[in-house]
Amino acid sequence: QAIYSAGLAGRRPAIPVAHTALAAEAERRLSAPAHGYIAGGASGETTLAANRAAFGAWHIVPRMLTDIAHRDTGVSLFGHRYPQPFMLAPIGALELAHHEADVGAARAAAAAGIPAILSSQASRPMEACTAAMDAVAPGAPRWFQLYWPKSDALAESLIARAEACGCDALVVTLDTPLLGWRPRDLELGHLPFLRGQGLAQYTHDPVFRSMLADTPADSNRPPITPRLLANVLACARHYPGSTWRALTRGHGLAAVRQFVATYSRPDLTWADLAWLRERTRLPIVLKGVLSSTDAQHAVAAGIDGLIVSNHGGRQVDGAIASLDALIDIRAAAPDLTLILDSGVRTGADIVKALALGADAVAIGRPYAYALALAGATGVAEWIANTAADFELTMALAGARSVEEIRAGGVELRSGRR
Ligand code: FNR
């Protein structure tokens, strides 16, 4: 209602309302490498497309005369009540989109009371984001996303900082021990982390800084081995030595080198989760799980929830659409908290995800586009639009609350039959 009234009063929106228009406008305004990095997917981008197609294959069967006069869009997750069933997915290197970067997105989430999942690859340290959030709304919900690094001391330090920042949950992303094969980045010769972008959590970390102090600042050549990150090497080939030096000067080549050497532990197995479980009392949410067998491993490891995700189609091309994976995982783990991401764009998508077993959803690229167009104002507007779209779609489908949708209150029909 408020959105329609503002329109009638002649207030111009800061961002396009429809997702397709928002994405098109962001493409026009962003540099080609920044847009390619944000919009792109892995390899043939078939999973990127499959995520959307999976939502298109389900249809809502709306019910009439169900008394939808009073509505509640809130959800309870890990003992907290949040006003909407969607949150901001972690996105690295947001300064590519806008100078307000993570701080702008976090402030908009705080104003709306929805969780912002702060990325390990953020452009601003988590302390800057959470201070800005507390200035908007003290104690506003925030989660931290961890890329589990090689160094145990660095992992412990990042977790301790997330706890000190008042995070409500620790999200551990499992699907990125190596960066996926991303043609757009390779063609445009662009990978933000090689430019020192998105390293703020590390360069502000006392343990990472002590590792840096031990690194000899001797060479201008990137210390990237093919075995470590094959596609990082392919990307680096696009930079002649002098360009590489110019790019990394000012960002600290040593930090880039140390980051590449330390950021992931490809040798992790399910057995390692016991170590993590002992180190934090925060709820642990594993991000990037697509298999119901893995969901059962997670339950056995005492994990609190999953983000069912294929990283927005950026890691395994040809991977199952996350909505299809959700259905299998919900059947295998009826009581586990499940958040779905990858491909959620509209209120109807959120309704469908909830009806198919998600407790909530996370959304990535759309808020990055809103940030690109209008900073925190754009993200706030995008959150308000998405909340209104969801509430209207839920009510017009015949349900009053997320709990009702989850309990079978919205009938879906599969168009694939
Ligand atoms: C991501 N994603 C991501 N995930 C994560 O755990 N840590 C990160 O730093 C990032 N960085 C990142 C950057 C960009 C530009 C994108 C598009 C995505 C994945 C993200 O959290 C989420 O899984 C997907 O974005 C969800 O898909 P949609 O909503 O973008 O389709």
Other beta carbons within 10 Å of 84:
21
Q: Is the pLDDT of residue 280 over 60?
A: yes
Q: Is 311 a catalytic residue?
A: yes
Q: CB–CB of 74/403 below 8 Å? A: no
What's the mean per-residue pLDDT of the chain? 92
Helix (H) or strand (E) holding 56: helix 46-56
Kindly tell me if the per-residue pLDDT of 152 is higher than 80. Answer: yes
Is residue 232 predicted with pLDDT exceeding 60? Answer: no
Judge contact between 320 and 310, C-beta under 8 A: yes
Q: For position 238, what pLDDT does the model report?
A: 46
Token pair of 275, please?
Answer: 């170590």
pLDDT of 234 reads 44
Q: Closest Cα partner for 142 from 170, 120, 123, 121?
A: 170
pTM (predicted TM-score): 0.93
Going 293 to 309 to 150 to 143, the CA torsion angle's sign is negative
Given pLDDT bands bounded at 50, 70 and 90, which one contains residue 244? very low
Whether 121 has a pLDDT exceeding 90, the answer reads yes
- In a 13 Å sphere around the CA of 55, the CA atoms on its Cβ side amount to 20
Taking a C-beta distance cutoff of 8 angstroms, is the pair 277, 298 a contact?
A: no
Q: Of the candidates 66, 32, 41, which has an alpha carbon nearest to the alpha carbon of residue 364?
A: 41
| Sequence ranges of the domains in the chain | 2-177+268-414, 181-263
Q: Distance, CA 360 to ligand 1 centroid (Å)? A: 16
**Residue 322 Cβ contacting ligand 1 at under 6 Å:** no
Q: What is the pLDDT of residue 216?
A: 60
d(CA 96, CA 80): 32
Is the confidence at residue 101, as pLDDT, over 50?
yes
The torsion angles phi and psi of 340, rounded to 5 degrees, stand at -110, 135
Strands 284-289 and 170-173: what pairing? parallel
Q: What are phi and psi of 379, to 5 degrees?
A: -65, -40
Closest CA to 395 of 87, 73, 57: 73
For residue 317, which of 139, 179, 417, 143 has the smallest C-alpha distance?
179
Q: Phi, psi at residue 374, to the nearest 5°?
A: -155, 30
- Would you say the CB of residue 96 lies under 6 angstroms from ligand 1? no
Residue nearest to atom 9 of ligand 1 (CA): 92
Confidence of residue 239 (pLDDT cuts 50, 70, 90): very low
Per-residue pLDDT for 90 more than 90? yes
For position 217, what pLDDT does the model report? Answer: 53
Check residue 7 and give its pLDDT.
77
Inter-axis angle of helices 365-397 and 347-355, nearest 10: 70
Mean pLDDT of 86-102: 98
For 210, list phi and psi in degrees, rounded to 5.
-70, -30
Report, as an integer, the average pLDDT of 277-288. 98
Q: Measured from the CB, is residue 288 less than 6 Å from ligand 1? A: no
The verdict on the CB of residue 309 being under 6 Å from ligand 1 is yes
pLDDT at res. 231: 44
pLDDT attached to residue 311: 98
Q: Quick check: 373 and 26 in contact, CB under 8 A?
A: yes
Share of the chain above pLDDT 70, in %: 91
pLDDT of residue 235: 44
Task: Name residue, tokens 């399910």.
Answer: 270
Give the pLDDT confidence score for residue 193 in this predicted structure.
87
pLDDT of 224 > 50? The answer is no
Q: Which of 91, 124, 286, 382 to mutate to test the pocket of ligand 1 (most atoms within 8 A of CB)?
A: 91
Reported confidence tier of residue 250, pLDDT bands at 50, 70, 90? low
The Cα 240–Cα 233 span in angstroms is 12
* pLDDT for 225 beyond 70: no
What single string gives the DSSP state of each residue in 248-266? HTTT-HHHHHHHHHHS--T
Tokens linked to 62: 């709306």
CATH tag, 2-177+268-414:
3.20.20.70
ipTM of the predicted structure?
Answer: 1.00
Token pair recorded at residue 303? 């994990």
Rounded-to-integer distance, Cα 369 and Cα 371, Å: 5
User: 348-391, pLDDT tens digit by residue?
Assistant: 999 999 999 999 999 999 999 999 999 999 999 999 999 999 99
Positions at the binding site? 37, 90-92, 119, 145, 147, 173, 182, 287, 309, 311, 314, 341-345, 364-365
pLDDT at 35 over 90: yes
How far is residue 259 from each of residues 267, 275, 352, measured CA to CA in Å? 17, 22, 39
For residues 195 and 19, which has the higher predicted lDDT (pLDDT)?
19
- What is the chain's length? 417
SS3 40: coil
Contact 303, 280 (CB under 8 A): no
Helices (H) and strands (E) in the chain, counts: 19, 12
Q: Across-strand partners of 296? A: none
pLDDT of amino acid 215: 63
